[in-house]
Amino acid sequence: MNKSDFSIFAQHPQLVYLDSAATSQKPKVVLEAIQKYYTEMNANIHRSAHFLAESATIAYEATRKTVANFIKAKHKHEIIFTRNATEAINLVARSWGETFLKAGDEILLSKLEHHSNLVPWLQLKEKIGIKIKYLDIDEVGQLIFDGSQITEKTKFVSLTGMSNSLGAITNLKPIIKRAHEVGAKVMIDACQLAVHSPIDIQELDADFLAFSAHKLYGPTGVGVLYGKAELLEKMPPFLGGGEMIQQVFEDHFVAGDIPNKFEAGTPNIAGVVAFKAALDYVNQIGFETIQKQETSLSEYALEKLKTLPYLTLIGPQEVENRGSITSFTMDKVHPHDIAEGLSQKQICIRAGHHCTQPLMDYWKLPATARASFAFYNEKEDVDRLVEGLEEVYQYFS
Amino acid sequence: MDIYAQNILDRYKKPFYKSLELGVGSLKRDKDPQPQADSYQLAKRKEANHSCGDVVEVGLEFQDEKLKQYQFSGNGCAISMAASDMLGDLTEDMTADEILAITKEEIYEILGIEISIRRSKCALLGLLALQNAILESRDEKLRGWKDYHI
Ligand SMILES: Cc1ncc(COP(=O)(O)O)c(C=O)c1O
């Protein structure tokens, strides 16, 4: 359908790319935007007083506006650019966490979380002695929540909007509502959610939200942190350096305003500028079309994979409440060997724990194979996957 | 489809040195060396490749300074399991120092296939467990992936 928008498929005509959850392919408009930036306006932003710096700054700030609109943020200064979602989560754990949490305070995560939304909190536990609780999940990977898991002791909640291992889309609104009732703040890891579903941050009412450009058809090296302005304003800077200050003296400094306060040093200017092209591209296609295509692919894939008796599907078994990610295991064949066999046929999937080791341990799985679909995939890609899986199974039996 | 060479597939499906369960307590003793106080030594070590969930545990029995019994157990892909099994042939009657001198190139050679960077840890997981079993029993610094330059 949209394959011709992506140069990589022309380069590798046989490619069946089913690893978009790790990183998506980039449309030509994004590659062109990078080229255009370096050709026409390369300069350091916010600093130099010449016409090139002016153009570069305008282009960089235009992306901030586009991102704010993309998630319906009230203000563009609520959008902070980081290197990736991981850095965005670390920023909140360090800056907000170290300032507003103390020993014994409880935070709530879930068993679905990516290491990026676990390790920064474990580091905080080591450093200041917070307590970490985990929401349980049911057999199809949905969060189990009845309100009782959030108490007066809960100070912070950080949850994924969609599992990168299972594809389950979590039901966040009741959790966010309950967290706010007890005065806890909420962060959403929207790395996967932002790719598959429109986000209305006003309606969701999360306090912080993070995602990475590279999964959303943009370049690597750009992440987004959304934070409510009144919270960001009270938080100390995360990294120190140029760009983030108002004044520096020999014995102290005065931090700048948001968002610059959190963007120390020269950022990935070209990446941020090109990310606008990615979001414009997504907006142009529209989430309605994207979801329709991805749901029909998931439906078709589930139906086909279920016919293979030696496969076990892990996580949600139906298309409801899920994004286009499917995890599975094969009888007597290690996921790595599945991936290797498929790779010979130019079919790319991921094998491993998908950076969700606690989830894998909880379900006693050493690893799974994961196929993830984007709107540029076609039914034929599913057919090639199924054919490939049949061959791998034959080979090992 | 031809994913790996036949020798790897054969070893993966029918290993010679694999015992069923992790834990050195479950070592089979088919050669049954008679433990003699001075000349008998036992070593074991478990290593994991966390990024793909592979685990290998080796158990070693030295008699008169030579390796008399090699066993491993674990879960993993065909390459990691086959390589761990082939180590049994390679190390028979070797001294601990000879085992410590085994290089990654030797492992790649006995596997007989091209080992891509993404599979190098699969190929070397058994060797890491084997060499660290010895180093640990001597109370020496353990090796890590960087020591194999991968
Ligand atoms: C749910 C989720 N959270 C966090 C991350 C981390 O993203 P990044 O590596 O871009 O920081 C990922 C991507 O792997 C993810 O899928």
- At A1 the pLDDT is 60
Nearest by Cα to B11 from B85, B120, B122: B85
Nearest to A382 by CA among A276, A308, A288, A280: A308
What is the rounded average pLDDT for all residues in chain B? 87
Element (H, E) at A218: none
List chain A residues with CB under 8 Å of B52.
335-336, 351-353, 367
- Return per-residue pLDDT of chain A as tens, 397 residues: 689 999 999 999 999 999 999 999 999 999 999 999 999 999 999 877 899 999 999 999 999 999 999 999 999 999 999 999 999 999 999 999 999 999 999 999 999 999 999 999 999 999 999 999 999 999 989 999 999 999 999 999 999 999 999 999 999 999 999 999 999 999 999 999 999 999 999 999 999 999 999 999 999 999 999 999 999 999 999 998 887 878 888 888 888 899 999 999 999 999 999 999 999 999 999 999 999 999 999 999 999 999 999 999 999 888 888 899 999 999 999 999 999 999 999 999 999 888 888 898 888 888 899 999 999 999 999 999 999 999 999 999 8
Helix axes A28-40 and A51-70, enclosed angle (nearest 10): 150
Residue nearest to atom 12 of ligand 1 (CA): A191
Mean pLDDT of B22-44: 60
State residue B26's pLDDT score: 46
Pocket of ligand 1 (CB under 6 A): A 84-86, 114, 116-117, 160, 164, 189, 191-192, 212, 355
Q: Would the CB atoms of B76 and A334 count as touching at under 8 Å?
A: yes
Atom of ligand 1 nearest to the CA of A220: 10
The CATH class of the B39-138 domain is alpha beta
Give the pLDDT score at B40. 78
Contacts of B118 (CB under 8 A, 6+ apart): none
Rounded distance between C-alpha atoms, residue A218 and residue A29, angstroms: 10
**H or E segment to which residue A201 belongs:** helix A201-204
Rounded to a whole number, what is the distance in angstroms from the first to the last CA of chain B?
28
Tell how far the Cα of A191 is from the centroid of ligand 1, in angstroms: 6
Please tell me whether residue B113 adopts helix, strand or coil conformation: coil
Quick check: B25 pLDDT over 50?
A: no
User: Tokens in use for A156?
Assistant: 């912070």
Exposure b/e, A29-43, CB count within 10 A at least 16 = b: bbbebbebbeeebeb
Please give the single-letter amino acid code of residue A354: H
- The listed CATH number (3.30.450.20, 3.90.1150.10, 1.25.40.420, 3.30.300.180) that belongs to domain A3-19+286-396: 3.90.1150.10
Domain ranges of chain A: 3-19+286-396, 29-283
Assess contact for A314 and A328: CB atoms under 8 A. Answer: yes
Would you say A216 and A162 are in contact if contact means Cβ atoms under 8 Å apart? no
* The pLDDT of residue B128: 97
pLDDT of residue B39: 72
The per-residue pLDDT for range B115-126, each reduced to its tens digit, is 888 899 999 999
Measured over the CA atoms of residue B100, residue B105, residue B106 and residue B112, the dihedral's sign is: positive
CA distance B121 to B145: 8
Among protein residues, the one with the nearest Cα to ligand 1's atom 15 is A191
> What is A29-283's CATH number?
3.40.640.10
Distance CA A386, CA A39 (A): 44
pLDDT at A245: 78
CB contact under 8 A, A367 and B119: no
**Contact check, Cβ <8 Å, A353/B51:** yes
Task: Give the mean model confidence (pLDDT) for residues B47-68.
Answer: 89
Q: What is the pTM of this model?
A: 0.92
Output the pLDDT for position A319. 85
Q: Where are the domains of chain B?
A: 39-138
What is the ipTM score, two decimals?
Answer: 0.82
Q: Whose CA is nearest to atom 7 of ligand 1?
A: A85
Pairing of strands A154-160, A185-189: parallel
Mean pLDDT of B116-137: 94
Contact across the interface for A352 and B52, Cβ inside 8 Å? yes
